[in-house]
Structure 1
């Protein structure tokens, strides 16, 4: 059933459904504003997309919520299910649809890059380029990546300067050369072929082939000793010992020197964390993790499939085995895609016993800990007031941080269409659900002070009646007069300890109760900027409401006094034509298209507006 569309819209959507091809591909569901809210893949687009509109669904609340919002769709045909799987992962990563499982922290993580130049360097980058360089990563733990970089620079004497070699060498070598952390290509002390051997060692080390590097260094050491080059042999011995200490600290995951990944996922409520432990030569080389959103109500197989697709989409290396806690959805297509990406056979396994089960469980424990840590940090940030709020507490000498600030402003034109606005900021950010508008009811003429008193009185009386907490700070737009009016309103309500501050526009002066002179708050301070931001937002909100009322009054007044034209018909005319000017320029026949406007009334309206015969 096609929901929420006009008759014409339903007919168009039904026609699109009937025209769907029986081919594999990817489809994108859109809401009423044209936003993509879900991306899916299908073996048969015709059958799969139609299933959203025909039948009773799969019983999940998320599915029902998705279907209720669908207003349109489009699709891309692919040659195979494997192509559809990859394209779906790319589109989900790019569009981040509301109802898909997505990586929540899908930012650009850093890579290590071995440059392509006569004497390569190892650099940090966040962009993958087709420049012939070799890339390693991405590293989801940036601190761990920095430790790896420092370790490589200690073990392998590559240069890290920015000079173009050999064309533009420096006048003298740097400190790294003096302390034997660089082979000195700028001095011509190393042959490009020998330098490339060290580059190859770095590449092997970063790929987890530490034991190969160990064997190479040992061979070189004994060769130097046989050639009586004892200084070179001693240097290689020291590097070999450093490497062995590093390798001994790596956790042994398996007695056999195999390459595989262990994947664990921990779910809680609507989010999850996925962890991949990369095992190379039987040792845990790295731990990568991503946080996942949109998992509530989704089966484990679907979550696992979505995580694997998005994790390996940008992976530079795929091992021959991936061990999982449960089989993923679309296992056959995933295996085929990963095998193609690796350039060799890849097997997805659910281990039942032994080292691999323990490592999968360890990955899940890591995922649980990371998710708990993330929530703890988030809650701690919520508890800690932002700097601008703490600065405001300091500068206004408040007892506690003003985490909730409400501001009041008045807008009027010579006393007509007078309105008040109230805006609310929590932790320095606007909370628009708490904004309120007020029509001034008790004040005649231009009396800003009395209007301020009325708005403050109405707002705080309502808070008291509903038993809600009062704001940490009330900001009034104006100087001593507006501040006194707000305080008088609070006293009449029996509120004596409410912090209130006034901010006058002309010189941006800050006034506090009981202090006749403005406070000396530095003009560039974070606290004053926050007050100005809140005051300006209250002013904008008030002016917007005032202009809306004034425009409505002006429009309505021109249609007053026409016999037979009541409030409902006035509003219908204005809704249809948008302005009195458009009504005036319309023909009698066009006016008659509005419900309730007959030929006689149409002529009366035009005669009234034009001051002439409407025929």
Structure 2
């Protein structure tokens, strides 16, 4: 018998009884329909039913989750591996409260050697796909990868241009003259010579520097024999650069192995995972990741979630992964990683020796990073709390301004007028709740007061209507902040009085002087320059301004590509392109005869008449 939550319906019992014995992804929802947890399963019926059977659990998080489940959805997939990819995608999109989340789950930078090109390029990418190219990474940051590429290009002067190489260019570019390209574009280097250079780039990125050093040392000696001391000095500097990198990368006791070492530290609702990338016995990089929502989670579940998240976007999987705990779904993860990398992968806990020391070192790094994070969080929380209290006191607010909504207007000489709303909850930006507005009244032009009145009226009307279907509009702000001075505030107060909304605090902040205006006060308020309250208002204002300006630029850019032809029935993108290619401009089309227009490919006489009438 299924033990379902008290507030669930008979529909849930029916859905549980009719679950398929197939792999897939499931989405648990609470009584307001919000997704609170997303999971995957090799057998949906067994996995979902396990949450509802009469079985006690010692995991507080599971107990709490089970009490909140009111409904669920399922998505059937072909395999558990496909379900894993879908699960990761849905978690990133929906950010459910009860899922463990990687805070830094953006795409990581890689070095790509594009072997699909006749003369391969070497460049940064965040897309790691199985396309025949070679990928190296991930790297800790774009800045670290740029430093590596800068050195690579000095050591191995490969091309950085995007042109098609045929060897027939008359002159090489500047890169050739500053020793950063061997100019295959002019035929200065043959394709064979260029590919030899690319092979060395790949060897270097794989950590195989011994043969490279041997070869270029010979080149240095040959240059010295030929009395070409300038070339010999240049090669000597390249050797020193390689040796410097080798010293940084050296890991004592690990010989010619490719390993990822994962360390972990957990405290309350956060976990830090440190990963060392060891390639060919060299430490080529490291990175730490923060996981959020880890309270009451077991270590084997967290390591499993991390491995699934990290390697779902990473094709550069070493044959060996070492860590301090085996993931909960070990067998599936091994099969998935092996299938993904097309070679057998192992996950082990080293009990002794150098690898054990590396895991301890990774754990220690994770612990230290988590300590710093907690210190930063505690400091930020104190500063935010101080700022909120300052605002309540200085602005005379009835409550702490936990939710602040800031509004700004953007336009260019009265054209394409738009507005924005930034949202800060407990001192933090809630970017998913930001909103943008197009000013509907075309007669407003560059009247900022009228624009702000329209936007605030639309916002407050949504509050009166309980937000309709927009979650961000259903929330009532503790403070509405206007980007502007006393004039904007007075204009907005007219709207507030007309709508009869009296229980929402409102203020405006003027640029430059950073003066704050309040209703019914003739004098402005000036907060101390280092006030945390002022800093919070400035952040809200700056975010609203940034969001409005970005939206306005996008609209303006799109309007540039609009044409009078767009509004003519029967004219689509292809016919518009054909007409403009033939006549060159709208004016030329306007001045052409019906016969000339109707002779255009795809344009009959009736359509030509319509075009002439419209223009």
The TM-score with structure 1 as length reference comes to 0.60
How far has the Cα of 1:359 moved from its partner?
0.3
Q: Counterpart of 1:424?
A: 401
Q: Counterpart of 2:356?
A: 357
Q: In the aligned structure 1, how far is the partner of 2:522 from the partner of 2:274?
A: 61
- Contact preservation (8 Å) 2:403, 2:426: no
Matched, 1:125 2:114: no
* 3-state SS of 2:374 partner: helix
Pair 236,197 (structure 1): closer, same or farther in 2 beyond 3 Å: farther
Larger radius of gyration, structure 1 or 2?
Answer: 1
What runs of 5+ residues in structure 1 fail to find an aligned partner?
390-399, 409-420, 435-470, 483-499, 538-615
Pair 137,239 (structure 1): closer, same or farther in 2 beyond 3 Å: same
Q: Counterpart of 2:188?
A: 189
* 3-state SS of 1:332 partner: helix
Q: Counterpart of 1:328?
A: 327
What runs of 5+ residues in structure 2 fail to find an aligned partner?
407-422, 428-478, 491-505, 528-532, 545-615
Q: Counterpart of 1:55?
A: 54
* 3-state SS of 1:344 partner: coil
Q: Counterpart of 1:406?
A: 395
How far has the Cα of 1:100 moved from its partner?
1.7
- Contact preservation (8 Å) 1:503, 1:510: yes
- Contact preservation (8 Å) 2:167, 2:187: no
Q: Counterpart of 2:156?
A: 156
| 1:305-344 equivalent positions in 2, closer than 5 A | 305-344=304-343
How far has the Cα of 1:138 moved from its partner?
2.9
Aligned residues: 442
How far has the Cα of 1:50 moved from its partner?
1.5
Matched, 1:203 2:185: no
Matched, 1:240 2:242: no
* 3-state SS of 2:197 partner: helix
Pair 19,252 (structure 1): closer, same or farther in 2 beyond 3 Å: same
- Contact preservation (8 Å) 2:23, 2:79: yes
Pair 502,22 (structure 1): closer, same or farther in 2 beyond 3 Å: closer
Q: In the aligned structure 2, how far is the partner of 1:97 from the partner of 1:426?
A: 21
| 1:14-413 equivalent positions in 2, closer than 5 A | 14-115=13-114, 116-128=116-128, 133-161=133-161, 163-166=163-166, 173-174=173-174, 176-215=175-214, 217=216, 236=235, 238-381=237-380, 406=395
**CA-to-partner distance for each residue in 1:178-210, whole Å, 9 max, x for gaps?**
332322334432222212222222223223333
- Contact preservation (8 Å) 1:253, 1:284: no
- Contact preservation (8 Å) 1:253, 1:359: no
How far has the Cα of 1:73 moved from its partner?
1.5
Q: In the aligned structure 2, how far is the partner of 1:141 from the partner of 1:246?
A: 17
Q: In the aligned structure 2, how far is the partner of 1:517 from the partner of 1:207?
A: 67
Q: In the aligned structure 2, how far is the partner of 1:257 from the partner of 1:334?
A: 25
Pair 422,146 (structure 1): closer, same or farther in 2 beyond 3 Å: same
- Contact preservation (8 Å) 2:402, 2:426: no
Q: Counterpart of 1:3?
A: 5
- Contact preservation (8 Å) 2:27, 2:38: yes
Q: In the aligned structure 1, how far is the partner of 2:69 from the partner of 2:362?
A: 37
The TM-score with structure 2 as length reference comes to 0.60
- Contact preservation (8 Å) 2:167, 2:184: no
Q: In the aligned structure 2, how far is the partner of 1:198 from the partner of 1:277?
A: 28
* 3-state SS of 2:395 partner: strand
Q: In the aligned structure 2, how far is the partner of 1:70 from the partner of 1:217?
A: 66
Pair 319,32 (structure 1): closer, same or farther in 2 beyond 3 Å: same
Q: In the aligned structure 2, how far is the partner of 1:426 from the partner of 1:25?
A: 38
**CA-to-partner distance for each residue in 1:455-507, whole Å, 9 max, x for gaps?**
xxxxxxxxxxxxxxxx9x9xxx989xx9xxxxxxxxxxxxxxxxx99999xxx
Query: Structure 1 residues 363-372 or 210-219, which shifts more?
Result: 210-219
Q: In the aligned structure 2, how far is the partner of 1:129 from the partner of 1:55?
A: 45
